[in-house]
């Protein structure tokens, strides 16, 4: 994304017909950031003190989600989601491998763009975070008691899951909209020439229900939609609760050189979805089951392992039969961000190529629908008249508006990619009241609670696409750069630059109080239901099952039991099932064995994790603890002997019998 956005910035300008001299503001200012006054004290969190907010930041092309403290910008955690992570054994341990299963097989990477909190009454409630996977369409649910990925659901009949995973005000549903439209159906329907786009390519939006008790997710229904590109979305709230809004571009229905061909029309659309009505139709049996094979992967903190369920079909609602589900609001020039203000009354569409920001009125939209105030139809969907649904336009906000967040005082903050600035404006009067440069080329931005019903405000964070000279250079590849601004006063004030990893897109920030006291410190060993758990050294053993050797092993500061194993032969598959017997906070043990083709295990107190190891040569092989655990950490080691295939060395193991030497 970073590379492509840099390349496209110039054509965007030209396409918009904006002469370069006018684009004075686009030229990134020099590295001197206008930090004034006591900025340092406003971000200084002394040793031993906590940050005020957790900041959950998408990892973009690293497929992960990282967690920072605000206002310090200190990185607290990096959570593997759609990508394998050898540090934690994520995607390498036998327990976590099913989390990355899809209809395409094991997919160890994705491109994760948007982070959305679980909400109650439109406000983040601190139970979960959701994040989308773009490339192999998926949505993940992160449990905020463990800061781990708990569920990943694959989205069928979708390509480029970009307008996701935004949720309804009580997280009844999390949505997914296909960015790429596709030919859908059976093989015969799908195997068509690309130039039959208008005839054969379809879009859709999917509503996924997360279960509050279990954290499992299931697809409630999928609504068919015209063959255009769906880009971003946000739920209605308050008066607009029951509606969902998606930005659409490429209403030209181009299938090649979209950079030019999808930028022809003056207006594309914001698609309004009446999801309450769709829910009702689904309950009334007005949908039909269609092919939609997908995986639902769920990690249990009781068995300490993930399982995959495969679902073959989804319930689909046809927008051409159910006429009152979808409406189009014309929106200038390839809208990207689609944001709803805290009152739920105003919908902001950010046309990437537009020289203004249109703000739509929900009340006007409902009146226009009731009055059938349409200018026409697009693929069977009524197109409302622009003037009839418009609250007003923010004039000359800047160049390249992308996204908008809100505070609790009636102000909106829009990111301007091309002119590299944040613009603050009044949602009612549409007046621009302040602007501040960012370094460089801001993409998303985040105000704590800024897409909810009651923003906490206080800061806006810019997630910039270009880093250049902000930090000490590290060769051609640089970290990304976030910037923290205070929004407490009338003027936005730059407080801090801090590097971020991957390529952050959207982010969320919520008060630490909502999360910190619920944080799990350890897993109770008594409650461990892993099939290969050893609850105490007494239960350790080695069991052969054909060519599979299961080692039931424990660890505690600072030894493994057993730590000498013999009788393994070439051709065996060895499974180390390691249980951490510790019951204290922050005492993980690591496990590594020489020549393991996967990664280490990192085992939390009370947990069991499994490393598969296929010996590649005869000999005595070492294993050891990788996580410095005590003064005798370096003694925490053992040996496993591998004999030639067919040898008759019996399977034996020691237990450092605690009762030896009575």
Q: What residues make contact with other proteins under the rule CB under 8 A?
A: 41-52, 69, 71-72, 512-513, 516-517, 522, 524-526, 535-538, 554, 556-559, 561, 581-587, 627-633, 656, 658-662
Tell how far CA 525 is from the center of its chain. Answer: 31
| Three-class SS state of 251 | coil
90 φ, ψ (degrees, to nearest 5) = -70, 120
Q: For residue 10, give the 3-state DSSP assignment.
A: helix
Strand order in the sheet with 335-340: 335-340, 346-351, 356-361, 390-395
Task: Specify the residue, 52 or 503, whose C-beta has the smaller distance to other proteins.
Answer: 52
Q: How far apart are alpha carbons 633 and 631 in whole angstroms?
A: 6
Contact 216, 210 (CB under 8 A): yes
Residue 213, both tokens:
């008790």
Residue 587 C-beta: closest distance to other proteins, Å: 6
One DSSP character per residue, 284-337 reads TT-SEEEEEEEEEEEEETTTTEEEEEEEEEEEEE-TTTSTTSEEEEEEESSEEE
State how far Cα 502 lies from the chain centre. Answer: 12
Nearer to other proteins among residue 14 and residue 658 (C-beta): 658
- What secondary structure letter does DSSP report for 662? -
Q: Which is nearer to other proteins, 211 or 513 (CB)?
A: 513
The residue (of 78 and 136) whose beta carbon lies closer to other proteins is 78
End-to-end CA distance of the chain: 66
CB nearer other proteins, residue 38 or residue 363: 38
Nearest to 465 by CA among 475, 454, 478, 455: 478
By beta-carbon proximity to other proteins, the closer residue of 326 and 515 is: 515
Rounded to the nearest whole angstrom, what is the least distance from the CB of residue 45 to other proteins in the complex? 4
DSSP state letters, 216-228 = -EEEEEEEEE-SS
Judged by CB, which is closer to other proteins: 175, or 460? 460
Q: Give the span between the Cα atoms of 303 and 318, in whole angstroms.
A: 40
> How is residue 596 written in tokens?
């393991």
**Least distance in angstroms from the C-beta of 458 to other proteins:** 10
| Residue closer to other proteins (CB basis): 77 or 454 | 77
Which of 42/277 has CB closer to other proteins? 42
| Beta bridge mates, 249 | 229
Quickly list H helices, 191-274. 197-200, 258-261
Q: Could you tell me how far CA 95 lies from the centroid of its own chain?
A: 21
Q: Could you give the C-alpha distances from 494 to 42, 162, 463, in angstroms and in order?
A: 10, 30, 13
The residue among 140 and 553 lying less far from other proteins, judged by its C-beta, is: 553
What's the min distance (Å) between Cβ of 607 and other proteins? 14
Q: Minimum distance from CB of 74 to other proteins (Å)?
A: 10
Pairing mode, if any, of strands 148-154 and 174-177?
unpaired
Minimum distance from residue 355 beta carbon to other proteins (Å): 38
CA-wise closest residue to 212 among 154, 280, 128? 128
Cβ closest to other proteins, residue 18 vs residue 45:
45
Give me the count of residues in the chain: 662
CB of 444 vs other proteins, minimal distance in Å? 23
């Amino acid at each position: 994304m970073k590379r492509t956005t840099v390349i496209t910035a110039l054509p965007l300008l030209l396409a918009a017909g904006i002469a370069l001299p006018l684009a004075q503001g686009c030229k990134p200012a020099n590295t001197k950031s206008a930090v004034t006054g006591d900025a340092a004290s406003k971000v200084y969190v002394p040793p031993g003190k906590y940050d005020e907010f957790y900041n959950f930041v998408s990892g973009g092309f690293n497929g992960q989600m990282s967690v920072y403290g605000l206002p310090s910008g200190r990185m607290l955690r990096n959570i593997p989601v759609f990508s394998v992570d050898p540090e934690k054994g994520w995607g390498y341990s036998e327990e976590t491998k099913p989390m990355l299963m899809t209809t395409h097989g094991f997919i160890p990477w994705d491109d994760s763009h948007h982070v959305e909190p679980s909400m109650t009454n439109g406000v983040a409630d601190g139970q979960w975070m959701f994040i989308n996977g773009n490339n192999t369409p998926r949505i993940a649910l992160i449990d905020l008691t463990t800061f781990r990925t708990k569920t990943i659901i694959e989205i069928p009949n979708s390509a480029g899951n970009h307008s996701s995973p935004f949720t309804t005000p009580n997280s009844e549903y999390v949505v997914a909209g296909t960015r790429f439209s596709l030919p859908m159906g059976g093989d015969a329907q799908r195997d068509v020439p690309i130039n039959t786009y208008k005839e054969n390519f379809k879009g859709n939006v999917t509503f996924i229900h997360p279960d509050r008790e279990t954290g499992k997710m299931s697809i409630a229904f999928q609504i068919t939609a015209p063959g255009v590109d769906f880009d971003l979305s946000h739920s209605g709230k308050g008066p607009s609760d029951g509606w969902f809004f998606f930005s659409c571009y490429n209403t030209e229905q181009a299938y090649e050189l979209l950079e030019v061909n999808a930028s022809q029309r003056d207006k594309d659309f914001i698609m309004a979805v009446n999801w309450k009505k769709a829910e009702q139709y689904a309950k009334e049996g007005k949908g039909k089951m269609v092919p939609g094979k997908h995986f639902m992967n769920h990690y249990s903190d009781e068995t300490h392992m993930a399982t995959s369920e495969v679902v073959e079909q989804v319930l689909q609602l046809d927008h051409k039969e159910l006429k009152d589900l979808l409406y189009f609001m014309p929106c200038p020039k390839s809208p990207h961000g689609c944001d709803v203000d805290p009152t739920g009354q105003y919908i902001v569409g950010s046309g990437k190529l537009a020289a203004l920001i249109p703000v739509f009125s929900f009340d006007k939209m409902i009146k226009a629908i009731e009055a059938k105030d349409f200018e026409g139809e697009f693929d069977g969907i009524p197109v409302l008249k622009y003037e009839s649904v418009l609250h007003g336009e923010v004039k000359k906000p800047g160049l390249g508006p992308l996204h908008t967040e809100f505070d609790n005082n009636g102000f909106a903050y829009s990111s301007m990619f091309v002119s590299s600035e944040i613009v603050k404006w009044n949602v009612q009067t549409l007046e621009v009241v302040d602007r501040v440069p960012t370094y460089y080329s801001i993409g998303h931005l985040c105000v704590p609670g800024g897409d909810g019903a009651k923003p906490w405000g206080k800061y806006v964070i810019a997630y910039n696409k270009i880093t250049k000279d902000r930090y000490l250079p590290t060769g051609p590849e640089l970290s990304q750069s976030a910037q923290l601004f205070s929004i407490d006063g009338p003027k936005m004030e730059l407080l801090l630059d801090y590097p971020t990893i991957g390529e952050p897109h959207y982010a969320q920030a919520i008060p630490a109080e909502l999360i910190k006291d619920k944080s799990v410190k350890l897993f109770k060993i008594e409650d461990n239901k892993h099939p290969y758990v050893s609850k105490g050294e007494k239960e350790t053993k080695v069991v052969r099952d054909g060519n599979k050797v299961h080692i039931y092993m424990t660890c505690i500061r600072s030894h493994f039991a057993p730590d000498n194993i013999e009788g393994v032969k070439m051709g065996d598959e060895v499974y180390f099932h390691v249980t951490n017997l510790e019951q204290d906070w922050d005492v993980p043990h690591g496990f590594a064995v020489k020549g393991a083709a996967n990664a280490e295990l990192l085992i939390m107190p009370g947990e069991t994790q499994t490393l598969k190891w296929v010996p590649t040569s005869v000999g005595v092989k070492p294993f050891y603890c990788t996580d410095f655990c005590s003064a005798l950490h370096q003694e925490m080691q053992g040996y496993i002997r591998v004999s030639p295939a067919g040898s008759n060395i019996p399977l034996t193991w020691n237990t450092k019998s605690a009762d030896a030497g009575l």
